[in-house]
Structure 1
Amino acid sequence: MADTLPSTISTLAVALLFALCIGGVIYAVFQPALSGSKRRDARMHVIAARPQSTEKRRQVKDSDRKRRSVQEQLKEFEERQKNKQSRRNNPTLSVRIEQAGLSWERKHFIYFSIASGVVFMVIALIVSPNIWVTLGLTFAGALGFPRWYVNYKRQKRFNKFLDELPSAVDIIVRGVKAGLPLGDCIKIVAREANEPVASEFQKIVETQVMGISLSDAVARLPDRVPLAEANFFAIVVAIQQKAGGGLSEALSNLSRVLRGRKTLKRKIKALSSEAKSSAGIIGSLPIVVSGILGLTAPDYIGLLFTTTTGNIIIGGGLFWMFCGIMVMRQMINFDF
Structure 2
Amino acid sequence: MDKDTLLVFLALVFGAVFFLTQSIVVPTFGTGRQESRRLKQRLGILSDDYQSERQISLVREKYFKKLSPLETWIESLPAMTRLEVFIERSGHEFPAYRLVLLSLFLALSGAALAWILSHQWLFVLAGMSIFGVIPVMKLRRDLVKRFAKFEEQLPEALDVMTRALRAGYPFNETLHLVATEMDEPIAKEFRIAFDEINFGVDTRWALHSMVERIPSMSLMAIVTTVMVQRETGGNLAETFENIGKLIRSRFRFQRRVLTLTAEARMSAWILAMIPFVLFLGISLINPDYVGNLTQDPIGKKIILWGIVLQIAGNFWIRKLIALEI
Normalised TM-score (structure 1): 0.69
- Quote how far apart the aligned CAs of 1:174 are: 1.3
Relative distance call for 1:81 and 1:130 in structure 2 (3 A) is farther
Residues 99 and 154, structure 1, Cα contact 8 Å, conserved in 2: yes
- Find the aligned partners of 1:310 and 1:251 in 2 and give their Cα distance: 62
Residue of structure 2 in register with 1:3 after alignment: none
2:97 partner letter: K
Gaps spanning 5+ residues in structure 1: where?
1-73, 85-90
Residues 113 and 141, structure 1, Cα contact 8 Å, conserved in 2: yes
Residue of structure 2 in register with 1:199 after alignment: 188
Gaps spanning 5+ residues in structure 2: where?
1-38, 50-80
Residue of structure 1 in register with 2:53 after alignment: none
Which of 36, 42, 50 matches 1:77?
42
Larger RCO of the pair (alpha carbons < 8 Å, separation 6+): 2
Residue of structure 2 in register with 1:66 after alignment: none
Relative distance call for 1:277 and 1:293 in structure 2 (3 A) is same
Q: Secondary structure at the match of 1:92?
A: helix
- Quote how far apart the aligned CAs of 1:294 are: 2.6
Which runs of at least 4 in structure 1 moved beyond 4 Å after TM superposition? Answer: 81-84, 125-129
- Find the aligned partners of 1:321 and 1:76 in 2 and give their Cα distance: 37
Residue of structure 2 in register with 1:276 after alignment: 265
Residues 47 and 205, structure 2, Cα contact 8 Å, conserved in 1: no
Q: Secondary structure at the match of 2:261?
A: helix
Which of 107, 128, 144 matches 1:117?
107
- Find the aligned partners of 1:277 and 1:313 in 2 and give their Cα distance: 26
- Quote how far apart the aligned CAs of 1:122 are: 5.0
Task: Tell me the number of residue pairs that the alignment of Structure 1 and Structure 2 aligns.
Answer: 256
Relative distance call for 1:271 and 1:319 in structure 2 (3 A) is same
Residues 179 and 188, structure 2, Cα contact 8 Å, conserved in 1: yes
Residues 221 and 234, structure 1, Cα contact 8 Å, conserved in 2: no
Residue of structure 1 in register with 2:95 after alignment: 105
Normalised TM-score (structure 2): 0.71
- Find the aligned partners of 2:144 and 2:297 in 1 and give their Cα distance: 41
Greater gyration radius: 1
- Quote how far apart the aligned CAs of 1:318 are: 1.2
Residues 164 and 174, structure 2, Cα contact 8 Å, conserved in 1: yes
Residues 48 and 205, structure 2, Cα contact 8 Å, conserved in 1: no
Residue of structure 2 in register with 1:54 after alignment: none
Residue of structure 2 in register with 1:235 after alignment: 224
Residue of structure 1 in register with 2:177 after alignment: 188
Residues 219 and 235, structure 1, Cα contact 8 Å, conserved in 2: no
1:80 partner letter: I
Relative distance call for 1:192 and 1:220 in structure 2 (3 A) is same
1:288-317 C-alpha deviation (Å, 9 max, x unpaired): 111222333323312233333322221121
Residue 317 in structure 1 maps to residue 282 in structure 2: no
RMSD across aligned C-alpha pairs, in angstroms? 2.7
Residue of structure 1 in register with 2:242 after alignment: 253
Q: Secondary structure at the match of 1:198?
A: helix
Residues 204 and 217, structure 1, Cα contact 8 Å, conserved in 2: yes
Which of 131, 137, 148 matches 2:127?
137
1:58-90 C-alpha deviation (Å, 9 max, x unpaired): xxxxxxxxxxxxxxxx99836538999xxxxxx
2:214 partner letter: V
Which of 287, 298, 305 matches 2:276?
287
- Find the aligned partners of 1:218 and 1:82 in 2 and give their Cα distance: 9
Relative distance call for 1:75 and 1:272 in structure 2 (3 A) is closer
- Find the aligned partners of 1:280 and 1:219 in 2 and give their Cα distance: 38
Relative distance call for 1:217 and 1:78 in structure 2 (3 A) is closer
Residues 240 and 247, structure 1, Cα contact 8 Å, conserved in 2: yes
Residue of structure 1 in register with 2:149 after alignment: 160
- Quote how far apart the aligned CAs of 1:180 are: 2.0
Residues 120 and 141, structure 1, Cα contact 8 Å, conserved in 2: yes
2:156 partner letter: S
Relative distance call for 1:110 and 1:78 in structure 2 (3 A) is closer
